[in-house]
Amino acid sequence: MKPPRCRRLLYLSRILVTIGFAIGLPAPTRSDAAEIKVLTSRAMNHVLTELAGAFQRTSGHKITLILAPPSEIMKRVVDGEIVDVVMSGVTVDNLVKQGKIAPGDRVVLAQVGIGVAVRAGAPKPDISSPEALKRTLLAAKSIVYTDPAIGGASGIHFEKVLDRLGIAKEIKAQSIKNPLAATKPSAEFVARGEAELGVQLISEIVSVPGAELLGPLPGDLQAMTAILAGILKTAPQPDATRALLRFLTSPAAAAAIKAAGMEPGGL
């Protein structure tokens, strides 16, 4: 039997072949080809990386990914950085409120829950209920999660979970707040053995070699995050960017989104 990562790569390769026939976008002439600058948080980064080649080959447009945490995305746009589209969570809605993105140019790409990561091959403790999760967290020697200060949805929510479970003070001593989650996912700490457990968006766990998804947060401790895209009013390439968003909301792209641990579309 092929190992899980090999099966995932084989599955994605089949998806990309399918996409080549399913997008249906006319290939532009050389003069029509555009560079689309995408300012994105890590949640969609793996999907964009997997699908960029198929979109570029079919459309002729080039995708340039700029990775940043949500708080930095907001600042960069407000400070006037020229990009075409922002992909994040509530940051996109905040930019709509500020008039940087037209409401009609806001698109829901996916929804994703928060999960717990363990090192590949490590014992898999029980997190199937709130009480089981509480016991597992208290027994862990170290837990890494996104620093809420950078605006990451998973870190903000996880601290609320700790409060609800009544163990925030106890967990503080073994917690590692990751301030570099936009470029260094918390699951990488787990994969290297630098932390026993990692808590972050599921899509940010399944893409990390050496880490495994132990499971989602159980029951009503779970919180789904909508991954949004918004075309900026100042976008240099709005038409090409709309083509990209049509591609990312197509049935062919949905298969890759599911393979990354997310559900396509949403509210």
- What is the C-alpha separation between 253 and 246, in angstroms, rounded? 10
pLDDT of residue 17: 40
Look up the CATH number of domain 114-221: 3.40.190.10
| pLDDT, position 12 | 47
* Cα–chain center distance at 75: 19
CA distance 59 to 54: 8
Task: Express each pLDDT in 251-267 by its tens digit.
Answer: 889 998 998 899 998 54
The angle that helices 153-165 and 130-139 make with each other, rounded to 10 degrees, is 100
pLDDT attached to residue 31: 55
CB burial of 122-144 (b: ≥16 within 10 Å; e: otherwise) equals: eeebebeebeebbbbbeebebbb
Q: Cα torsion at 18, 24, 30, 35 (round to 10°)?
A: -70
Q: How far apart are CA 43 and CA 207, in angstroms?
A: 10
Distance CA 47, CA 112 (A): 13
Domain ranges of the chain: 4-19+28-110+226-264, 114-221
- At 188, give phi and psi (nearest 5°): -65, -35
Retrieve residue 102's tokens: 């037209």
| pLDDT < 50 stretches in the chain | 1-2, 4, 6-25, 27, 267
Whether 4-19+28-110+226-264 and 114-221 share one fold: the answer is yes
Which of 114, 163, 174 lies closest to 138 in space, CA to CA?
Answer: 174
Q: Which of 79, 88, 86 is nearest to 102 (CA)?
A: 86
The CA-CA-CA angle for residues 44, 4, 115, to 5°, reads 45
pLDDT at residue 42, as a whole number: 84
CA 247 remoteness from chain centre? 17
Helix (H/G/I), strand (E/B), else coil: 41: coil
Q: In CATH, which of 3.40.50.720, 3.40.190.10, 3.40.50.10140, 3.90.1200.10 is domain 4-19+28-110+226-264?
A: 3.40.190.10
- DSSP class of residue 180 equals T
